[in-house]
Structure 1
Amino acid sequence: MTESFLPHMNGVTGSVLQILSHLERAGHDAHVIAPDGVGIPGEVHGAAVEAVPSLALPGYRSVRVGTPPARHIAASLRRFEPDVVHLASPFALGWRGALAAEHIGVAAVAAYQTDVAAYTQRYRIPIATGIAESHIARLHRRATITLAPSPDSAQQLAELGVDRIRQWGRGVDAERFQPVRRSTALRAEWGSEVVIGYVGRLAPEKQVEDLAVLQTIPGARLVIVGDGPSRPRLEVLMPGARFLGHLEGDALAAAMASFDVFVHPGESETFGQTLQEAHASGVPVVATGRGGPLGLVRMGMDGWLYRPGDLEDLRMRVADLAGDARKRRAFGEAGRDAVQGRSWANVCAQLMGHYDEARELRTVDTGLRARRQMRPDPGAPAVPRTWRRYVALGDSLTEGLCDPGPDGALRGWADRLALLLAARGGLRYANLAVRSKRVRDVCGGQLARALELQPDLVSILVGANDLVKSTVDVPALAAELEGAVARLRSTGADVVLVTPFLPRRRAAAIYARRFAAFATALSGIAARTGAVLIDTDLYPSLPDRPNWGEDLVHLSSRGHRFLAYRVGEVLDVPHADALGALDAVLHENEPIGAGLWWRRHALPWVWRRLHGRAAGDGRVAKHDEYVYLGRSSAPRDVSVH
């Protein structure tokens, strides 16, 4: 599944074509799902190409963004029955692919190739950076493993909370790109002693305008290969440069080998395929000391890395090579030697190993999934588990703020879940959650009381109040919470662990990275302790405005109902999905709270913060003792306090 494909040729498309060629030679079956576009082929290297509905990307009419819903992708995967789903540079279509692979229980390998978050900064839309980072994190957490092209990109992903990262680079076609492709005809046409070349998209994220400082190097000329929305502006900015437009195949190889120095100024490269192609062509490289080039350019051996953003340093490094033909030859030969072991055959063989590992890990993951945890024998027919004592821990979300009942008392998702569970034959239920509480509160007083109540089911939804503080130590929070989960599990209780979530609002985007990192940590806790993980990222409609109350920070009644039914589905509550759909229809005209948000909610919150207070100060849990939910009176149970 690829975000980009033929006829649009770029690094992602090139990688996919090489992988398909390798799969064909090795006798594997392949199927391609890609955004539809004019000229897309129906088959490539023996693989059928399934074109899905798409929209053109603004500014790049040739670039299409796939738009089919995840259920359509899941249906396509079921028809093909893959062993592995490869997500090539996933973002939009890849997200749906990750969900679909998860839904049908197939391993997903996500190949990180495009730093979308960096692109939002280059296009001067910083508000989208947090959103992009959150999306990247949740997508790659859904994948079985993530393939990072360089150590720098692996570190970026780790900082976003992504785990199971493996390094996998890109191959280079050393037969096509080699020094013998150097063209005397091109050199005569370009007419200069030293040619400084660039190959790539002409777009803001590539920072091609930085090359303007090279125009004054004596005896040198800029030759730029590529096209894109920035080309008209760049032609004005660099009138002495030669713009060749888009080249590919042998024409590109001839141009690359005819350069004397190759320069790439982009700071958002996760790898740098053109740097490898320059080295294969025997051309020394000057690139920014950030991202993918750090793993491809050896300082003082086959090129130079300049300080990111320091254009004087860029000019000095290029001038050094432009003025020394012997150094250029030495660097070029070293670069050519360095790429000899990076053939596509070798790289694709490594990829097959990653596929095998993903399949093994998926088997492990499947054994830890919630539904399997409810069954003593995974091979036996599903028998719904029945719980008799349920305790809910957490903060205002579990207390039920913004979900008043007919009598004015708060309900909330946990109360609604308790009613679903009680339909199996009665349930004792306690809700110890109190607004404004944090992880330490749940792991302290709430945990102690829960242990006294001897539950057989406990739900925990907490962490949001910690994550929105000015500073937060996510690993420390996770470690504290893991201790509480382990204590509950040691008593024999099942634990439902719900990942905190944010509304779809601009103001929430600044916390997206923290929430993603915490969710990843909770996934690890669930795997180690056997807790049931409710990953709210699997429900992309949850952040939508109708699911949030008038204060814009708590779930509305609609949102509480939605979450209760989703948890019910995971716990195998009979007909939870159908009941949820019916409930949604019955409340479809329910008004969305708005109105006096500032006066009722924002200003009181600010006042409490200024005075060192919290909304939960002095409050006690609404159900500190068990209440019985059922059609008859509560049966006697001497073990319950």
Structure 2
Amino acid sequence: MRVAVVTESFLPHMNGVTGSVLQTLGHLERRGHEAYVIAPGAGREHALAMPGRAVPSLPLPRYPAVRVAAPPVASIARALRAFRPDVVHLASPFVLGWQGLLAAEAVDAPTVAVYQTDVISYTERYGLPRATALAASHVRRLHRRATLSLAPSAAARRQLEGLGVDRVSLWGRGVDGIRFAPHRRDEGWRARVAPGMRADEVIVGYVGRLAPEKQVEDLVALRGLPGVRLVVIGDGPARGALERRLPEATFLGHLHGDDLAVAMAGLDVFVHPGESETFGQTIQEAQASGVPVVATGRGGPLDLVRSSIDGWLYRPGDADDLRARVADIAGDAAKRRAFAEAARTAVSGRTWESLGDALLGHYARAATLHRIDRARPVRAWPRADPTAVDSAPPLWRRYVALGDSITEGLCDTSRAPAGSYRGWADRLAQLLALAGPRSHGAVRFSYANLAVRSRRVRHLVEEQVPACLSLRPDLVSVLIGANDLVQARVDVAAVAGEVEIAVRRLRESGADVVLGTVFLPSRMLAGVLARRFAAYNARLREIAAATGAILLDLEAVPELRGLEVWADDKVHLRSAGHRLVAYRAAEALGVPHAEALAGLDGAFHDDEDVPAAGTWLRRDALPWVWRRLRGRTAGDGVVAKLPAYVAVGPGPRSRSSLPQ
């Protein structure tokens, strides 16, 4: 088997992701498989000490050991095409992993996305609510798009499933039971880190990154605990603040290899306070070293620590409970011995060898799933599974588009009769109709477009949603809000709240909803509105996650900011922009090869838009000002262009009512 590994972190930076990747590579080599690594390069040196490619990267400003790389998809695709992988392993994918996912799709290779870093919780810990919504949206999009996702714990699997990710399997982490073992305990080491320690005193330690997302500040709860010497092993941006708050503690910095194994075995109690851990590798290493664990009762530790058997799980966020649990074990030598023996026994079967063989099985399953996906006309959610190969995928037969001028299709004159417009929703309807199966040659797809120019969110709730529900659709698109956000005064939260009301009503009817974020061109004046648009879109992402809507994150499509896709009036999309939105929507809905089809469509129909006559000032700006002075809008008196269903798609007796 040929396995390409795309990893967000690699040597020389050693962390949980790097360690897991190295173990995977070692197992592949021992089993006779070929591996190829794509990883961030360290500084100016871009060579890997193994087959693969190091890509240019930049260090995080406050955390230079962590490097971020986002090379062009095409460059990764070239590397993959040359290697010809049977599967692409995405290790803790986020930035580089997303590029790797797109590249794998370009070379038609299955992907296995290994969920290892809870970026969503990390952004919450750093107090970045907008970034949290973006992170959740990105994680959902990435793992839904991967062929198969692997979660390290039941809590992590529930988190992914809560984001709407299907095809999630459990794959934990192995532990090196030879390196991490009780016989590594060294009394000389203990004397050096805790000089003058009495026989009745114990060493309580933490091992890990010293950063806010690890909740290392919770260790302050152990300060002054009688009979306890606190040792902190690790480094990170929170070290200085923690040293000031724990002046009596011993800080050893970052340790690895045998030095870390000796330190781990030298502890009497191991403490793990982080609530956002998807697994907790250091917990396993402590258990293998014969050290009882006190960990928070949330996330990955729930799968590793058996409370009152090999350690304690304390109430998340309860510093008093943490202190009490540590005091309980520290003050009872017999309990420590019993917990330690049980912990060592619990991890005895969690070898990297067995985990590596299980991973090979997941690779094989991903290859099977990939073959099924390629055979399906529409990759809908939830996707097919080998146990249900013959089951038909969900199919949308009645699609209704809601929104304003963008969805109405203003300025998209490509292949449209004079005086009419096409638009991204019309294009999407045709893509969905052609992607779905037909029986006996009969057209089975219907489409209505209730969008009207200048409409605001209140019109969506009061007019469009009731009319839409009367049509009983099974798919609805909602793209609206820009007209509200450009007003002199606007309550962004209230506008988003009305959108949520609309989406919930549509979802309660049983329809799937595609919810689109709004976007701006790269113009100086647009920058004045950027903060409003970002806040509104962040709320839309939360609404999509809460309601189960399919997020069409157009704000995250950089091409839509380019002026070349905007029409002469500077506020609407030209045909190229509508094509881009249509194919992004098709991609979100699982239409196969949507990205390739988009390029083909653009090549055949390279903007037949008719240039607008007259100057922008007289043609667009002055009429807009005149309407505003009179309290009118461009949509006054305009009705929806398709208020009832039309048949879309080729058929023996019927032709589409839409422009071809």
TM-score interval, normalised by the smaller of the two chains: 0.7 to 0.9
Q: Deviations over 1:418-463 (max 9, x none)?
A: 9999xxxxx999854335276775463275xxxxxxxxxxx96514
For residue 283 of structure 1, give the secondary structure of its aligned residue in structure 2.
Answer: coil
Quote the residue 2:581 is aligned against: 563
Asked if the contact 2:518/2:555 (under 8 Å) is kept, the reply is: no
Asked if the contact 1:562/1:580 (under 8 Å) is kept, the reply is: no
Q: CA separation of 1:417/1:95 partners in 2, compared to 1, >3 Å: closer, same or farther? A: closer
In the alignment, does 2:166 pair up with 1:163? yes
Q: CA separation of 1:235/1:302 partners in 2, compared to 1, >3 Å: closer, same or farther? A: same
Asked if the contact 1:279/1:285 (under 8 Å) is kept, the reply is: yes
- What is the rounded CA distance, in whole Å, between the counterparts of 2:348 and 2:205 in structure 1? 22
What is the TM-score when the length of structure 1 is the normalising length? 0.76
Quote the residue 2:315 is aligned against: 307
For residue 370 of structure 2, give the secondary structure of its aligned residue in structure 1.
Answer: helix
Q: CA separation of 1:18/1:394 partners in 2, compared to 1, >3 Å: closer, same or farther? A: same
What is the TM-score when the length of structure 2 is the normalising length? 0.74
Quote the residue 1:64 is aligned against: 67
In the alignment, does 2:557 pair up with 1:540? yes
- What is the rounded CA distance, in whole Å, between the counterparts of 1:539 and 1:513 in structure 2? 15
Report matched runs for 1:608-619 at 5 Å.
none
Quote the residue 2:511 is aligned against: 481
Quote the residue 1:16 is aligned against: 21
- What is the rounded CA distance, in whole Å, between the counterparts of 1:411 and 1:28 in structure 2? 52
- What is the rounded CA distance, in whole Å, between the counterparts of 2:653 and 2:268 in structure 1? 85
- What is the rounded CA distance, in whole Å, between the counterparts of 2:616 and 2:85 in structure 1? 42
Asked if the contact 2:57/2:68 (under 8 Å) is kept, the reply is: yes
Report matched runs for 1:404-423 at 5 Å.
404=411, 411-414=422-425
Asked if the contact 1:7/1:39 (under 8 Å) is kept, the reply is: no
Quote the residue 1:257 is aligned against: 265
- Structure 2 letter corresponding to 1:7: P
Q: Deviations over 1:275-325 (max 9, x none)?
A: 000000000001111111111111101111111111111111101111111
Deviation at 1:415, TM superposition (A): 5.3
Deviation at 1:481, TM superposition (A): 2.8
Percent of residue pairs identical: 49
- Structure 2 letter corresponding to 1:177: F
Q: CA separation of 1:586/1:265 partners in 2, compared to 1, >3 Å: closer, same or farther? A: farther
- What is the rounded CA distance, in whole Å, between the counterparts of 1:258 and 1:598 in structure 2? 76
- What is the rounded CA distance, in whole Å, between the counterparts of 2:242 and 2:62 in structure 1? 16
- What is the rounded CA distance, in whole Å, between the counterparts of 2:535 and 2:626 in structure 1? 20
Report matched runs for 1:112-511 at 5 Å.
112-189=115-192, 190-191=194-195, 192=197, 193-369=201-377, 393-396=400-403, 400-401=407-408, 403-404=410-411, 411-414=422-425, 432-435=449-452, 436=460, 441-442=467-468, 444-445=470-471, 461-463=476-478, 469-470=499-500, 477=507, 480-481=510-511, 500-503=516-519, 505-511=534-540
Asked if the contact 2:408/2:423 (under 8 Å) is kept, the reply is: yes
In the alignment, does 2:107 pair up with 1:100? no
Q: CA separation of 1:578/1:180 partners in 2, compared to 1, >3 Å: closer, same or farther? A: same
- What is the rounded CA distance, in whole Å, between the counterparts of 1:337 and 1:145 in structure 2? 31
Q: CA separation of 1:616/1:297 partners in 2, compared to 1, >3 Å: closer, same or farther? A: farther
> Which 10-residue stretch deviates more, 504-513 or 215-224?
504-513
For residue 505 of structure 1, give the secondary structure of its aligned residue in structure 2.
Answer: helix
- Structure 2 letter corresponding to 1:287: A
Asked if the contact 1:55/1:67 (under 8 Å) is kept, the reply is: no
- What is the rounded CA distance, in whole Å, between the counterparts of 1:594 and 1:402 in structure 2? 20
Deviation at 1:199, TM superposition (A): 0.4
Quote the residue 1:612 is aligned against: none
2:93 aligns with one of 85, 90, 93 = 90
1:578 aligns with one of 595, 603, 606 = 603
Asked if the contact 1:561/1:580 (under 8 Å) is kept, the reply is: no
Instruction: Structure 1 unaligned segments of length 5 or more: list them.
Output: 372-389, 422-426, 448-458, 483-496, 523-534, 609-614, 630-635
Deviation at 1:401, TM superposition (A): 4.4
What's the C-alpha RMSD, in Å, of the aligned pairs? 4.7
For residue 540 of structure 2, give the secondary structure of its aligned residue in structure 1.
Answer: helix
2:114 aligns with one of 111, 115, 132 = 111
In the alignment, does 2:9 pair up with 1:32? no
Q: CA separation of 1:280/1:520 partners in 2, compared to 1, >3 Å: closer, same or farther? A: farther
Deviation at 1:115, TM superposition (A): 0.7
- Structure 1 letter corresponding to 2:163: L
Deviation at 1:366, TM superposition (A): 0.8
For residue 51 of structure 2, give the secondary structure of its aligned residue in structure 1.
Answer: strand
- What is the rounded CA distance, in whole Å, between the counterparts of 2:280 and 2:402 in structure 1? 46
Quote the residue 1:80 is aligned against: 83
Quote the residue 1:375 is aligned against: none
- Structure 2 letter corresponding to 1:278: A
For residue 371 of structure 2, give the secondary structure of its aligned residue in structure 1.
Answer: helix
Deviation at 1:229, TM superposition (A): 1.2
- Structure 2 letter corresponding to 1:413: W
Asked if the contact 2:403/2:478 (under 8 Å) is kept, the reply is: no
Deviation at 1:71, TM superposition (A): 1.6
For residue 313 of structure 2, give the secondary structure of its aligned residue in structure 1.
Answer: strand
Asked if the contact 1:261/1:284 (under 8 Å) is kept, the reply is: yes
Q: Number of matched residues?
A: 563
Instruction: Structure 2 unaligned segments of length 5 or more: list them.
Output: 1-5, 380-396, 433-442, 453-459, 481-495, 520-532
